[in-house]
Chain A
Amino acid sequence: MVRPVFLLRSALAVSIGLVLLTSPAETIEAASLACMEPGNLCLEPLQGASWQPGKKPSRKDSKRRGKGRAGTLFLTIDNGRGSVFINGRYAGTAPLDGTPIPSGNNHVQVRDGMIVLSDGLLTVPRGGILRATVNHP
């Protein structure tokens, strides 16, 4: 009979092996490919910042938002134009050159007329400077 401790150790070893096998270059390439997908927003890596496409902020997020120091957003659109809407209001037309954005979870939508280019939840760390690119289909 196989002991549970041995099973746990084996599972742990396999997991570590899989993590080591996936090289950083492949991870970056996969991220870039996902970034090129129409409708996706590419965010330059920044600690505490994240982009979750298709997600909406909760009521709790709205209450917490803007408690800390505001962040700054730079946003460009490749191969086209569009306007940016943050938390339900017009924020400007791309390119955004350092638009203030509340810290916390923000709803961001980028659209060109009737076409929604990007829609999701942008997490902004306190005082963070975020650089994002959207690909126009």
Chain B
Amino acid sequence: MSTAVTPAAVRASPVGPLGALFAAPKKVTPGQAAQARMPVQQRAAALSAGGDARGAGMELDAKAAELADPVLFLDAANAYYEAGKADRHIPSVEAGMERARIALDILNFLQDPSADKQFQIVASTEISGLIARANEHLRKSHELIKEIEAEDATGGLQASKQDKPRRKGGGNPMVIGGAVLTALGVAGLGVGVAGLAIGKVNQDNVEDPTVYGAEYDDFEEKGKRGNMLAWVGLPAGGVLVAVGITLIAIGLKRGKKPEESPVARVQPAVAGGFGGLVLTGRF
């Protein structure tokens, strides 16, 4: 895209008409003004035909400010409008609107009694037609801005719709919660299994005929504690694992994308001297 043009960036040229006022001819007729604007209009037409509507606008703009010519301001407004329409660029359309407003300022002033009667840049009969042209330009510019804003809003909405599933899949709270519960359940089951093992070892010791007295009581106490751990750990762990896996399954089903793999997985694992559940995944 070419350089952005904002209304502030393309204000009236510093070589304004008042600078020229000191050297400007005392009398200007509509015919002379038409002749003065013709070369720049031809150059701008060539630029526009070559696809550089914004360049045409800037050329017309500079000359318009130099000659205080509302016709050239309107031509510049039109060129900026065309540039904005082609690039869907609101600041260019707004720059054109400002040029149309300047044209309106000058045209209205030309009807004021304090306007310099020697400085007739346009014929008085043309003023009402040019005012209508400027107002029409403002109307169609407002429409174009609404049109571009609607396009931008639709584009933004589509982008946010595309973002939504990604967020859902990336950080589904159900999957995370389920994974945490499953991990706690696995830990509970581990404690239960450990309790069973402790109970078994101490049971064997108690049944040993050489063990009696205080030592017997000690092994019996440890065995009871192990059994308690097994009684609590195994059911609690089982419930937590069941709930956790259910949550993960629901979460994955809701936020799943066809091309994505599951976020977390719980599977049984058996190895030498070890048996249980393994939780794998990424969060």
Contact = CB atoms under 8 A, between A and B. Distances in A.
Interface stretch (A1-9, A109-117, A128-136): A109-117
Q: Which of under 10, 10 to 19, 20 to 34, or 35 or more describes the interface residues of A?
A: 20 to 34
B19 A85 contact: no
Interface stretch (B74-82, B110-118, B266-274): B110-118
Nearest to A116: B112
A89 B17 contact: yes
B22 interface: yes
Contacts of A97: 14
A116 B108 CA distance: 10
Nearest to B7: A81
B77 to A, nearest CB: 13
Contacts of B24: 89
Interface string B86-122: 0000000000001001101110110010111101000
B105 A89 contact: no
A64 to B, nearest CB: 15
A119 B114 contact: yes
B18 A101 contact: yes
A89 B19 contact: no
A89 B12 contact: no
Interface of A: 56, 66, 70, 81-83, 85-93, 97, 99-102, 107, 109, 111-114, 116, 119
A84 to B, nearest CB: 8
The winner among B101, B104, B109, B119 for most chain A CB atoms within 10 A is B109
B18 A89 contact: yes
20 contacts: A83-B105, A86-B18, A89-B18, A89-B116, A89-B119, A90-B17, A90-B105, A91-B18, A92-B17, A92-B18, A92-B65, A93-B98, A93-B105, A99-B19, A102-B22, A109-B114, A111-B108, A113-B105, A114-B108, A116-B112
A81 B12 CA distance: 13
Nearest to B105: A83
B139 interface: no
B116 A87 contact: yes
Interface string B170-214: 000000000000000000000000000000000000000000000
B102 A107 contact: no
Closest 9 CB pairs of A and B: A88-B116, A83-B105, A90-B68, A91-B18, A92-B16, A113-B104, A92-B12, A93-B12, A114-B108
A100 B18 contact: yes
A66 B26 CA distance: 14
B257 interface: no
A99 B17 CA distance: 10
Given A87-B116, A113-B105, 17 more contacts: A83-B106, A87-B21, A88-B117, A89-B18, A89-B115, A89-B116, A90-B68, A90-B109, A91-B17, A92-B17, A93-B12, A93-B105, A97-B14, A109-B109, A109-B112, A111-B105, A119-B114
